[in-house]
A and B are shown apart, each in its own frame.
Chain A
């Protein structure tokens, strides 16, 4: 269910967190759905179980998952992670924006892009 890239140099628990977040945001994993157990995922992906435990714990801390005592981890209700989604987008957006500013794109142009999107005509320039 999760494919990790062995050539990616990011720590495995971070890769795992990103994958799970993606699946939650894309609603492939739905609210209250149970995630595979640490044991099973470790066996399936051949990853240190402590690494998976860590990824799950971090996701719980960030509000994407909740744990029911000893029953495992579940996807948290939408309201809990809606803000997170916006925050996530913000960082991605800022990254692109920084590049755009370097290239000399003005505030007006960006505002214009915004209007275009709102009107539903997605033009690239």
Chain B
């Protein structure tokens, strides 16, 4: 379990993370989303024990992480910009990891060779960006971590490799209750992987929820009524976050329970009434809109 309690981190005068509380349950896969510069990477680096928070505490399994060798042996962090020693081959790098991570599993490393299929005698710096990312996963998953922290991990991986890596991750989650925290902008991918979601904006956590609850709570509805008055009537009764009109059909983004929304809308006998599921991408855009980070189409 990862727990952050009222954590703040500043760089000079810049507050990167502001009073954040977050809990990631053991065995869960947590997706951290947010606008650019929201403080995701800073938060992840604090979880990995790289940065020391100014105020508040970050603990893994109830022990503070910063400078804690015992806990850090169980944590693997794949940063957005990878680092390997210059001139090292995969085998050499693996040897280095083996000396650091006491849980290193050599047979796991060999089994994963079948997944990644890269010759271990190749120099990592001569590999492509995507292949370097594969090596990072290969090494991290051989360390048998209890916590895996991934910053923008999908970047540069081809669809086949993504699927393979996802599969391996899921097996580790199912078998060993590994906890995974992922930051990404690829919402389609996050939607498939995660069970919990946190959305950050300007250093703060604005939403934290189980993904399915978030989905069950926001709906996109299409309605058409005989008169404007009827529409106004239902809009007044519902918690509408967004409204759009396409001809005589209105598209509303509504929060609340599905059955309740159905009841209210049907009471006015609409011509057209459909409830459409929202994608995570749409939800993200509307949640961000609520805190004033909206899509404006600026005319050039």
Q: State whether these chains interact.
A: yes
User: Contact at B277–A49, with CB atoms within 8 Å?
Assistant: no
Across the interface, name the chain A residue whose C-beta is closest to B188: A6
The smallest C-beta distance from B170 to any residue of chain A, in angstroms, reads 5
Interface residues contributed by chain A, number (CB under 8 Å): 18
User: Contact at B173–A43, with CB atoms within 8 Å?
Assistant: no
Contact of A69 with B by CB under 8 A = no
Q: Please, how many angstroms separate the alpha-carbon atoms of A14 and B166 in the complex?
A: 21
User: Contact at B170–A46, with CB atoms within 8 Å?
Assistant: yes
Q: Which of A10, A11, A12, A47 contacts B170 (CB 8 A)?
A: A47
**Which positions in A face B, CB cutoff 8 Å?**
6, 9-14, 38-39, 42-43, 46-51, 54
Interface size class of B (residues with CB under 8 A): 20 to 34
Across the interface, name the chain B residue whose C-beta is closest to A58: B212
Contact of B236 with A by CB under 8 A = no
With A9-B277, A48-B29 as known contacts, state yes or no: A42 contacts B174, CB within 8 Å: yes
Q: Which of B28, B192, B216, B278 has the most CB of A within 10 A?
A: B192
Across the interface, name the chain A residue whose C-beta is closest to B170: A42
User: Contact at A54–B170, with CB atoms within 8 Å?
Assistant: no
The smallest C-beta distance from A64 to any residue of chain B, in angstroms, reads 18
The smallest C-beta distance from A84 to any residue of chain B, in angstroms, reads 18
The smallest C-beta distance from B244 to any residue of chain A, in angstroms, reads 18
Q: Which A residues lie within 8 Å of B193 (CB)?
A: 48
Contact of B279 with A by CB under 8 A = yes
Across the interface, name the chain B residue whose C-beta is closest to A13: B212
Q: Which of A12, A39, A48, A49 has the most CB of B within 10 A?
A: A48
Q: Which B residues lie within 8 Å of A6 (CB)?
A: 192
User: Contact at A39–B174, with CB atoms within 8 Å?
Assistant: yes
Interface residues of B in 207-260 (CB under 8 A from A): 211-212, 215-216
Interface residues of B in 1-55 (CB under 8 A from A): 27-29
Across the interface, name the chain B residue whose C-beta is closest to A39: B174
Q: Which A residues lie within 8 Å of B192 (CB)?
A: 6, 12, 48
Q: Which of B173, B174, B278, B279 has the most CB of A within 10 A?
A: B174
Q: Which A residues lie within 8 Å of B87 (CB)?
A: none
With A43-B167, A46-B163, A48-B194 as known contacts, state yes or no: A38 contacts B215, CB within 8 Å: no
Across the interface, name the chain A residue whose C-beta is closest to B212: A11
The smallest C-beta distance from B198 to any residue of chain A, in angstroms, reads 16
Q: Please, how many angstroms separate the alpha-carbon atoms of A48 and B276 in the complex?
A: 24
Q: Which A residues lie within 8 Å of B277 (CB)?
A: 9-11
Contact of B158 with A by CB under 8 A = no
Contact of B195 with A by CB under 8 A = yes
